[in-house]
Structure 1
């Protein structure tokens, strides 16, 4: 059972999503409505849930699912019936869904999704005391939104540490480092963006610009208001693919460039597609706790992620048929669907300790002015340990050309980032590679053929117990075997 929350009275609060909350940093504050975890009901003399009538038969999760079908007026009506339903209808995810489903042209962020949707100024928000309500479904999101990150992102075991290097040459990267995550500490510090960018500077220059933040398109000034005043379990993450044009930036080799890829990441074979290439570069801005749950980068590309302000914690796992996905992550047979805890905090809370003990796990903090390499196919979760600004870019290095060709050819339903009018991305890419880099294309295709032949031979060994050569002159008959126990070759 969790410790009882700090006792407080509630009436009108300037920011109803957070208490004042002059408590130590390592103590999670009490829920703003006083809601407690379900276990506390075992010793309670009163439970507000008793007032909801026949609905008391339903689990909390089902009640929350039913409320998802109501509009704002419906939620307000249900919330007026009793304190228990008042608490259920105050769940932020309900109001976030309503806001995102029909976003207004202009709005003022009022500290919570509910207050913003209903246009209630913080000073006019009333909070009812629901301290006799016991619900994990209501308490856990608040709990996850306030757990301290420090125990999870610090004290990284030496064996798990991501390699840190000052810089790498193009030759060093391709010879030794293209399959390995690492952090470079020096190249980003030469960028004009590193020297001048801050949230305040970007707000002054681009406050009226509209950027993509997950499922919404907001003026940057709206996002900054949200970024500085929210208590979401999974804070909205600004992740915009068109920031270069929106901000009028020059990048790459231009003498007035705002940033450029370090030399070791300079080759990107997707560039042979010119204007038909898929999305490749994003501006990323977010508050502490914002980030991305476990995923692999699209189209079997590699990536670099440069932190301009703030810092990010990364935890990563190699992708292999020999290894399962990260703890808490479940993948469909064709790897098209990934299921994991809904929030980063929930994953940290439930699976981080196991992940640290899992073979292949590596972790690290990418700090201000540093850049991290994500090799093709690696699982990674990233979370901001403080408000952060970053730029990321996907690319195909020559070492992973075969992986990209295999993905584009055999997983056409999972290809992403191309314009809708770009037909047959695989065929276009092969044609352009044949024209621009025929030697690299031939090497990659030969590599894929060798792998395919190896899988075919292994399949023959498993089914027939012998290779074709071994079978010559042998007596006929069917046999079935699994090969030697030490084999780790994937069966197609």
Structure 2
């Protein structure tokens, strides 16, 4: 059951109170398209094993988190909120970027086609067979799942899974032509391409019936949303799309899915706009001790639902010998994000996010002129080639802001951080994940040794 330290509110009460409505599901996947359920069963087992090798296939619901209620009342939300139309870019920089304070922005989605197009029925029709990233295996390779099967999973196993699979896709994969046509020319298309349709001479000359031609494009999702005005001066653009790390993600998931406690790579800031559903956030200033927000507890993994079940109650509890809780002492910010709201996360802020119901969102990491010095120093430490390219670009610019002394401090020593990411997509190097990785590698080595011994004995 939910910890007693929470003040809970039912989903229905919250929706009535806030006047918000979730996406109304008037269909099931099987009602719209035909599904090969035998294939689905094989796929889902394989995907679960690859995505979380530490769990047996029957252990995905062993903790019973689906019985808990993780909703909180609007009064628990203590973040500052602003209207995009009422706050200028300069005022936003002065009040939030420079001091490094999180804020929720209303009004960013006005006029976005995504407000209409991004729902499960429309997306299913467009991306039925597209394989979205739903996790990573132990080698850091993406684990992908066809969208139709993922939605079917949300309607079934995900209802009881403690921490369901979660679409968090930055690349959307690479779409290729059929094998025969690929021998002549390979077409790689992503839903993040700015052109909604791609054609070639070979395609135009084809005399095959339309229905037999391979799919040459996917609908463009980039055209469905616009980067909010406060965040469109991303300096990482100077490095080019091929060089820069993954920075934008299409995010879709069910209840209790989410991301564990972390801070964004390379010191970048982030914005997250929610189109459907509700998300629960907890954010902590960069100075917060890691042992407070990511303690070593028995049964605690790096899933968001585990954090809210085991760590959150400790933070909000006030002991007899304390005058205030850890949450108050370290200025924890809580957010109950609703449809149409954009959360701004300053660089260095630790945060954990959990979906309270079915959600669809888009999120991007960025480097603004205000934070360039901090980001560049972090980048030089973990991505030296990228940092050098940034430096070369900046030396050709006459003015990049007042805090530009970092160019003269190129030889400055930079200490290692507690957690950092490499150039892979979404790798977490927190203490727990590093230890799990070591144990996995040790098991692999021991297995290889045992195999060699058995072969010799035979």
| 1:16-38 deviation digits (Å, cap 9, x = unpaired) | xxxxxxxxx89xxxxxxxxxxxx
Q: Contact 2:282–2:352 (CA<8 Å) still a contact in 1?
A: yes
Among candidates 230, 243, 247, match of residue 264 of structure 1: 230
2:290 aligned with 1:325: yes
The equivalences for 1:76-155 within 5 A come to 108-110=39-41, 141-150=62-71, 153-154=72-73
User: Does the C-alpha gap of structure 1 residues 408 and 355 become closer, same or farther in structure 2, counting only changes over 3 Å?
Assistant: same
2:107 aligned with 1:186: yes
- Which residue does 1:218 correspond to in 2? 145
- Which residue does 1:388 correspond to in 2? 359
Q: 1:324, 1:261 → 2: CA distance?
A: 33
Among candidates 267, 270, 287, match of residue 303 of structure 1: 270
| 1:60-93 deviation digits (Å, cap 9, x = unpaired) | xxxxxxxxxxxxxxxxxxxxxxxxxxxxxxxxxx
SS at the partner of 1:204?
A: helix
Residue correspondences, number: 308
- Which residue does 2:338 correspond to in 1? 367
- Which residue does 2:304 correspond to in 1? 344
2:88 aligned with 1:169: yes
| 1:232-265 deviation digits (Å, cap 9, x = unpaired) | 21111101112495326539xx9x9211111111
Q: 2:351, 2:123 → 1: CA distance?
A: 28
The equivalences for 1:331-480 within 5 A come to 341-356=301-316, 357=325, 358=327, 359-410=330-381, 412=382, 415=383, 424-435=385-396, 437-440=397-400, 443-446=403-406
Q: 2:234, 2:380 → 1: CA distance?
A: 19
Deviation at 1:162, TM superposition (A): 1.1
Q: Contact 1:249–1:257 (CA<8 Å) still a contact in 2?
A: no
- When normalised by structure 2's length, the TM-score is 0.60
Deviation at 1:195, TM superposition (A): 2.1
| 1:266-323 deviation digits (Å, cap 9, x = unpaired) | 1101111113222111100100110000011111110111111111111000112xx3
Deviation at 1:155, TM superposition (A): 5.5
SS at the partner of 2:347?
A: coil
- Which residue does 2:211 correspond to in 1? none
Q: 1:362, 1:427 → 2: CA distance?
A: 35
Q: 1:266, 1:164 → 2: CA distance?
A: 20
Q: 2:408, 2:267 → 1: CA distance?
A: 14
User: Does the C-alpha gap of structure 1 residues 172 and 326 become closer, same or farther in structure 2, counting only changes over 3 Å?
Assistant: farther
The equivalences for 1:54-65 within 5 A come to none
Q: Contact 2:60–2:161 (CA<8 Å) still a contact in 1?
A: no
Q: 2:60, 2:172 → 1: CA distance?
A: 37
- When normalised by structure 1's length, the TM-score is 0.56
2:233 aligned with 1:233: no
Deviation at 1:180, TM superposition (A): 1.2
Instruction: Name stretches of at least 5 consecutive residues in structure 1 with no aligned partner.
Output: 3-24, 27-104, 119-136, 332-338, 416-422, 456-492
Q: 1:115, 1:402 → 2: CA distance?
A: 44
Deviation at 1:442, TM superposition (A): 7.4
Q: Contact 2:106–2:341 (CA<8 Å) still a contact in 1?
A: yes
Q: Contact 1:108–1:222 (CA<8 Å) still a contact in 2?
A: no
Query: Larger RCO: Structure 1 or Structure 2 (Cα < 8 Å, ≥ 6 residues apart)?
Result: 2
Deviation at 1:177, TM superposition (A): 1.1
Question: Over alpha carbons, which structure has the higher Rg?
Answer: 1
Q: 2:94, 2:360 → 1: CA distance?
A: 31
Deviation at 1:138, TM superposition (A): 6.9
SS at the partner of 1:260?
A: coil
| 1:107-146 deviation digits (Å, cap 9, x = unpaired) | 643499569999xxxxxxxxxxxxxxxxxx9798332232
Q: Contact 2:305–2:354 (CA<8 Å) still a contact in 1?
A: no
Instruction: Name stretches of at least 5 consecutive residues in structure 2 with no aligned partner.
Output: 2-9, 12-35, 50-57, 137-142, 174-188, 196-219, 317-324, 416-458
| 1:126-182 deviation digits (Å, cap 9, x = unpaired) | xxxxxxxxxxx97983322321112xx33654xx61111111332122222111111
Q: Contact 1:165–1:183 (CA<8 Å) still a contact in 2?
A: yes
SS at the partner of 2:115?
A: helix
Q: Contact 1:316–1:361 (CA<8 Å) still a contact in 2?
A: yes
Q: Contact 1:184–1:372 (CA<8 Å) still a contact in 2?
A: yes
Q: Displaced runs of 4+ in structure 1, greater than 6 A?
A: 115-118, 137-140
